[in-house]
A and B are shown apart, each in its own frame.
Chain A
Amino acid sequence: MNDLNPTGPIPPQLPTPTYPIRAPLGESPEEREPIPNLFAATEAVLRQPRRVMYHLRQPGSGRIVIAMLFVAMLCAAGYGVVVGTFSSGAQLWIAPVKIVGGLLLATLICLPSLYIFACLSGSQARLMEIVGLVTGLLLLTTLLLIGFAPVAWLFSQSTDSLAWMGTLHLVFWGIATVFGLRFLENGFAHTKARSNAGLMTWVVIFVLVVLQMTTALRPIVGTAETFLPQEKKFFLSHWGDSLKSSLD
């Protein structure tokens, strides 16, 4: 270790993602580098989001979208298994199925409104670009959930409190979604939209739909005799009931 060369050159600064948001996509050669596979797509979404945004605007972007969606669902399933470890048994497959299905369903439900809001805002984005941006949102969110997975697993094994675990998963999902939505917002900024109001409205709708989906597909963390609930409930009412029964 003594042979460290103190006068040696300092490694070059890695490219940072703090580009001016409004700079045209593809301006830097790095952004134009192709995204050949799943791993490149995953890494690009984390480190070079503008590279992903650039390629989503190019012809044949469907391949990248499919790759990103595949990884996102894989990550969602992985996190689902961790969620299922709280109750174990059948929840080990039920939780991933419900999380993957719920995320896909919520996205499909919300996608048309995002496209319409985008058009109303004057955005020039094609449908595939919007689909790609939403897929990027899903990928980033689920990747971060995988990052949270070891922490979630530890708490799953430590506590018996359903309300606590539910809250923890919601907090993790919330943090991950903030980063995912930031990707979407940055991508949306390049679609020449006149205002962000439509996007912000959609964000509220999307979050509400996902939250309601957790109640519509309950139980995800705990167990039940039936795969799906027999009673319809609003998510706030469900949370209130869960907290009350946990505190009693």
Chain B
Amino acid sequence: MSASAFNPNTPTAFLRAEPTRLRQWVTQRPANLVGCCLAAVVLGAGTYGAVMGCWRDPWQALYTGIKLPLVILLTTLGNGLLNGMLAPLLGFNATFRQSLTIVLLTFATASIILGALSPVALFVVWNTPSLSGATQLSSPEYGFMQLTLAGLIASAGVAGNVHVLPLLTQWTRSVGVARKVLLAWLAGNLFLGSQICWILRPFIWDPAGPTRFIGREYFRGSFYETVFEAVRRLFFAWG
């Protein structure tokens, strides 16, 4: 591929670009790159979200199609300041804007992968009987669908981060620093992202009510408290 064929307007440019090219985009054309990343997140994650939600009904598809990109963008913005501070402290002396752009680039890559996996997800969703039929919340089919959808998101997230690692390595000239920065960003984004997902649930189906943009549990409790409580109950039961 000739060098002039690189263009951040095309989805494949994100995936094919060498670290040098990505760095040029981050430093020279941040506004254009951010625009492309936003479009990738909205389209890629939005499509995947719509597929997740369509298992219940078209409204849930619309809501989840909006909510999934929203989770990504809110996580990026919510951790923007922290990620920008952690980068120089861990040895990656990028500006706030550059840090924010790289994190967004990670999510954009993951979103493009999610968009590409949407047909696979749709196939799984289409093959899972609806809850009004024989499938219950405890049915293995439902569990399989949930795990598959979550697994695809996790895989896309990992791929997005791995894709940015060479850029950080080239920029910092140290694999160790690049890994530390990426790990710190990943941990922070995972921590905040989980809670934002918790607040914006349901993504697939709310057994307690009609289709809504945000469930009744909005701003009530936290993801980690619920996990902690579940673990406590489990150990208590075992005791």
Which residue numbers of A lie inside 8 Å of B, CB to CB?
A: 1-2, 4, 6-8, 10-11, 13-18, 46-47, 140, 143-144, 146-151, 154-155, 157-161, 164, 179, 182, 247
Contacts and interface: CB of A to CB of B under 8 A. Distances in A.
Contacts of B77: 150
Interface stretch (B44-52, B56-64, B78-86, B208-216): B78-86
Contacts of B78: 150-151, 154
B222 A4 contact: no
24 contacts: A1-B8, A4-B7, A4-B24, A4-B28, A4-B29, A6-B6, A6-B24, A7-B3, A14-B94, A14-B95, A15-B93, A16-B173, A140-B89, A144-B85, A147-B85, A147-B86, A150-B81, A151-B78, A154-B192, A154-B195, A155-B222, A161-B222, A164-B222, A164-B225
Label chain B's interface by main secondary structure: helix
B79 A6 contact: no
Nearest to A154: B195
Contacts of A182: 89
Range of interface residues on chain B? 35 or more
Q: Which 9 A-B pairs have the closest CB atoms?
A: A147-B82, A6-B3, A14-B93, A11-B27, A150-B78, A147-B81, A147-B85, A47-B88, A159-B222
Contacts of B130: none
Contact of A157 (B82, B83, B172, B219): B219
B129 interface: no
Contact of A158 (B4, B171, B195): B195
Contacts of A14: 93-95
Given A18-B91, A46-B88, A11 B23 contact: yes
A71 B174 CA distance: 32
Nearest to B221: A159
B28 to A, nearest CB: 7
Contacts of B196: 154
Given A11-B28, A16-B91, A46-B89, A4 B6 contact: yes
Nearest to A16: B93
Contact of B225 (A17, A148, A159): A159
A49 to B, nearest CB: 9
Contacts of A160: 221
